[in-house]
Structure 1
Amino acid sequence: MDVGIKDGRIISLRQHLPNDPNVLSAGQLIQAEGRVLLPGFIEPHIHLDKAFLLNQMTQDANSVEQAIASTLELKRSFTKKDIEARSIQVIQQAIAHGVTHMRCHAEIDPIVGLLSLEVMLKLKEHYRDQITLQIVAFPQEGIQKQPGTEELLIQALQLGADVVGGITYQDGDLQEHLTTVFDLAKAFNKPLDLHVDFSDDPSMLAILTIIRMTHAYGMQGRVSVGHLTSLGSLPYGEARTICQSIAEAGIHVMSLPATDLYLGGRGDDHRHRRGLTPVSLLLEQGVNVIYGSNNIQNPFTPFGTADPLDIGMLLAQTAYMGSKQDVVTLVEMVTTRAAQALELTNYGLHIGADADLVLLEASNLRSAVYERAPRRFVWKRGQLVASTVKQTTFYHTQMSS
């Protein structure tokens, strides 16, 4: 195919014809030579302000509770300069890996106040021509548990936060917590992004209350949930029924395998559970499932490169997604499906869309994903923002006769 770009938008998309005069007259001509061109990748769930904390940790975290406690202590010493430096490191890695949109969660609580939000707002403006940031006002430590947090969330939304965040396993009163965040989302006309049921305990099913409230508040299609790992511990029949209800409510599910696999299943002394939400079952029932990095090298996740294809490959291996159709789904999860969850407009490979694009050093989708092919060029609204070239030299390779 030939793709025409002008003023940051895709203006033509048609079958390639050799010596096409319209193509040859372009101001700049890039010969892709059969490589894979995709819409810019989307990172839908990441914590920039908590990235790269490994060297500051005094001990390892081996559970969700330990990770939360460790991060709570570490963030008491957060400064604007510190948050900014670690966030920039992730953002630059992500851009190099083809990410053109990112939803990041900013810690909002009486401990850090609006410090993280202020940094994210600054970075959002600074990098606006290279990557689009959506900022979630996220009450990691709970709302009722930390008096003053609700007022800070309101301030954050007034200052420019794009999304209301929540976390169902921090406050003792689930209904009160969810009522607060649903009310804020409705009052400010913002989407809702919740950390939900991060556990192997099949009785932890806040998702049922979220489904009910999504309908009650008329927020179908505007609610996303991350983790949802307890659903993976339910018997098939029960899980299937809940997945159907999730689909009917239009709730987007964000699988976070790098964190969920690392912290999940640790209480099992044999036949360890994978600690994932049931991705295939959710997809079968029509749920919009996507994936994200969540954390980069911190107490929750000691790993991470800010490359979405690393996460896609991890999910492929652990959710049994190895078929020809599965790789198409994996690519959709990091592009068009994620765009739906983030309510992006003018996104994709179609005429009129923003020219947010990534050209990979691969000639087919399987090679692109399985080999995490280098991102040859990355464009944001038609402007080149990153380029990666991988070079390998072989020595003494001649075979003797």
Structure 2
Amino acid sequence: MVLDLPAGDRFALCAATLPAALVAGRSGPSSDGLCAADLIISDGRVEAVLPAGSAPADIEAADLGDRMVWPCFADMHTHIDKGHIWDRQPNPTGDFDGALAAVRADREARWTAGDVETRMDFSLRCAYAHGTSLLRTHIDSLAPQHRISFDVFTDMRARWKDRISLQAVALFPIDAIDDEAYFLDLVEVVAQSGALLGGVTFPMPDLGRRLDILFRAASDKGLDIDLHVDETQDASVLTLLEIAEAKLRNGFEGAVTVGHCCSLARQDEDKAAATIEKVVEAGLSVVSLPMCNMYLQDRQANRTPRSRGITLLHELKAAGVPVAVASDNTRDPFYAYGDLDMVEVFREAVRIAHLDHPLEDAATLVTSRPADILKEPQAGRIAEGGPADLVIFNARSWSEFLSRPQADRIVMRNGMGIDRRLPDYRELDPLMRG
């Protein structure tokens, strides 16, 4: 797309098409969830959102020709510490157990601070070029990796603070909580890093006791929690329900996010409805990772998969649960593909989960909704007085937007277009040898 943006401190973007659900305070009419507007940009911020055709005539303007304008994206569940290791540590079976084994082998052999830093930075450059301004990553945190990777993350967060707002979550198997010395050290590292407690939950004897320890530790340190939950097609797995009950039982006042929750979609209607009711009561937020879960789950050699591997997004949303979708893994044994491009995530989620017809507020799943869950309400929306962090697409309608990858998009940060060149995979070649 060729579009000359004004270079001054104050200018107009005229004849823009905006997703109405992403315009803060808007209550006017829309068609299919889209509205026409002129945007006034001043000193890197959105000065005004005006009816189309009403921008002042005395300021420089760019005619967008009804192109869509979105706020920058919020990608609330990623794994940038393990990203881009596929070429040196593939997962030949393509399933969950194969992914666990491959990542474990790679981590133990190669995850030095320099290795993690290089791959994290590469991932963030991809996300930034695609238009993401807010990102949460889970960090593999078994000892001694937690001290290596959180030091790298802390440095990366400072280095990237003017481009992407970063959050981190400690990722470890919930049974490791029984190693008291390790867990106490992990909690200290997380607290010092301004991060979140997390973990991979799965059915086990005495899971409730372990969850109580996790909630108490988070409460004592004032930490929020983000958990991997029920990443399976086994309908008998009900740890989501146990987590909701544990939050209520402990009177935990922090935010709790649960990711995946795939088995919920395999349960009968009554069981699923009861679990969702408890999720609402506990005030949990849910993030679905449709691309990764479709890749890993229901995979058997020479057999077509029968299940999509996603949670009950429609039912959760209808019940009032905050829901979002995100990238998850990128070019690692859990997902061989991806580029931290939230347009790809959105397009695939719409198709996989039938988020269309209507599409009025679907865009919130990758913008304002995850931003709210991540407690950064200034992100993921177009607001008067807010930052002019915008993405301009050469599409005028939902059909045009969803039918192409929008590779020619323009990303604006603080009212200025950025260099959207993606990093070359060849940069990672030195990490793939040996």
TM-score bin, normalised by smaller chain: 0.7 to 0.9
Q: Alpha-carbon deviation of 1:383? A: 4.6
Deviations 1:337-389 (A, max 9, x none): 11121111323212232332222221123322342323633233445434479
Q: Alpha-carbon deviation of 1:59? A: 4.9
Distance 1:161 1:149, change over 3 A: farther
2:180 paired with 1:144: no
2:115 paired with 1:79: no
Moved more, 367-376 or 296-305: 367-376
Q: Which amino acid aligns with 2:85?
A: L
Deviations 1:164-183 (A, max 9, x none): 21211287642233223222
Q: Alpha-carbon deviation of 1:190? A: 2.6
Moved more, 267-276 or 221-230: 267-276
Q: What is aligned with 1:284?
A: 318
Q: Alpha-carbon deviation of 1:7? A: 4.5
Aligned mates of 1:373, 1:271 — CA distance in 2: 29
Q: What is aligned with 2:41?
A: 5
Q: What is aligned with 2:346?
A: 312
- Tell me, what secondary structure is at the counterpart of 2:155? helix
Aligned mates of 1:19, 1:332 — CA distance in 2: 27
Aligned mates of 1:375, 1:123 — CA distance in 2: 28
Instruction: Answer whether contact 2:41 2:48 (CA < 8 A) is retained.
Output: yes
Aligned mates of 1:142, 1:239 — CA distance in 2: 26
Q: Which amino acid aligns with 1:261?
A: M
Q: Alpha-carbon deviation of 1:232? A: 1.2
Q: Alpha-carbon deviation of 1:58? A: 6.0
What is the TM-score with the length of structure 1 in the denominator? 0.87
Q: Alpha-carbon deviation of 1:310? A: 1.4
- Tell me, what secondary structure is at the counterpart of 2:177? coil
Q: What is aligned with 1:396?
A: none
Q: What is aligned with 1:44?
A: 76
Aligned mates of 1:145, 1:63 — CA distance in 2: 28
Distance 1:171 1:70, change over 3 A: farther
- Tell me, what secondary structure is at the counterpart of 1:90? helix
Distance 1:201 1:123, change over 3 A: same
- Tell me, what secondary structure is at the counterpart of 2:138? strand
Q: What is aligned with 1:334?
A: 366
Instruction: Answer whether contact 1:143 1:177 (CA < 8 A) is retained.
Output: no
Q: Alpha-carbon deviation of 1:261? A: 0.9
Q: Alpha-carbon deviation of 1:100? A: 0.8
Moved more, 175-184 or 122-131: 175-184
2:95 paired with 1:63: yes
- Tell me, what secondary structure is at the counterpart of 2:125? helix
Aligned mates of 1:368, 1:86 — CA distance in 2: 30
Instruction: Answer whether contact 2:329 2:335 (CA < 8 A) is retained.
Output: yes
2:227 paired with 1:191: no
Instruction: Answer whether contact 1:221 1:252 (CA < 8 A) is retained.
Output: no
Instruction: Answer whether contact 1:200 1:229 (CA < 8 A) is retained.
Output: yes
Q: What is aligned with 1:393?
A: none
Count the aligned residue pairs. 383
Deviations 1:288-339 (A, max 9, x none): 221111100111111112111212222222222332x2x3333110011111
Q: Which amino acid aligns with 2:133?
A: T
Q: What is aligned with 2:33?
A: none
Q: What is aligned with 2:407?
A: 374
Instruction: Answer whether contact 2:129 2:419 (CA < 8 A) is retained.
Output: yes
Q: Which amino acid aligns with 2:241?
A: L
Distance 1:60 1:12, change over 3 A: same
Q: Alpha-carbon deviation of 1:219? A: 4.6
Instruction: Answer whether contact 1:379 1:386 (CA < 8 A) is retained.
Output: no
Q: Alpha-carbon deviation of 1:4? A: 2.8
The percentage of counterpart residues that share the same residue type is 26
Q: Alpha-carbon deviation of 1:266? A: 3.1
Match of 1:159 among 180, 184, 192: 192
Q: What is aligned with 2:375?
A: 343
Aligned mates of 2:385, 2:250 — CA distance in 1: 33
Q: Alpha-carbon deviation of 1:19? A: 6.3
Match of 2:234 among 196, 201, 206: 201
Instruction: Answer whether contact 1:38 1:357 (CA < 8 A) is retained.
Output: yes
Aligned mates of 2:177, 2:199 — CA distance in 1: 12
- Tell me, what secondary structure is at the counterpart of 2:183? helix
Match of 2:159 among 110, 126, 129: 126
Aligned mates of 2:375, 2:184 — CA distance in 1: 26
- Tell me, what secondary structure is at the counterpart of 1:273? coil
Instruction: Answer whether contact 2:187 2:197 (CA < 8 A) is retained.
Output: no
1:192-271 alignment, distance < 5 Å: 192-219=225-252, 222-266=255-299
- Tell me, what secondary structure is at the counterpart of 1:106? strand
Q: Alpha-carbon deviation of 1:44? A: 0.6
Q: What is aligned with 1:293?
A: 327
Q: Alpha-carbon deviation of 1:124? A: 1.1
Distance 1:120 1:32, change over 3 A: farther
Aligned mates of 2:181, 2:43 — CA distance in 1: 46
Instruction: Answer whether contact 1:355 1:382 (CA < 8 A) is retained.
Output: yes
Q: Which amino acid aligns with 2:80?
A: L
Distance 1:134 1:385, change over 3 A: farther
- Tell me, what secondary structure is at the counterpart of 2:41? strand
Aligned mates of 2:193, 2:62 — CA distance in 1: 38
Q: What is aligned with 1:174?
A: 207
- After TM superposition, the runs of 4+ consecutive aligned structure 1 residues lying more than 6 A away are 267-271
- Tell me, what secondary structure is at the counterpart of 1:294? coil
Aligned mates of 1:242, 1:95 — CA distance in 2: 37
Q: Which runs of 5 or more structure 2 residues have no equivalent in the other structure?
A: 1-36, 423-434
Aligned mates of 1:13, 1:97 — CA distance in 2: 24
Match of 2:56 among 12, 15, 20: 20
Distance 1:58 1:43, change over 3 A: closer
Aligned mates of 1:188, 1:9 — CA distance in 2: 36
- Tell me, what secondary structure is at the counterpart of 1:207? helix
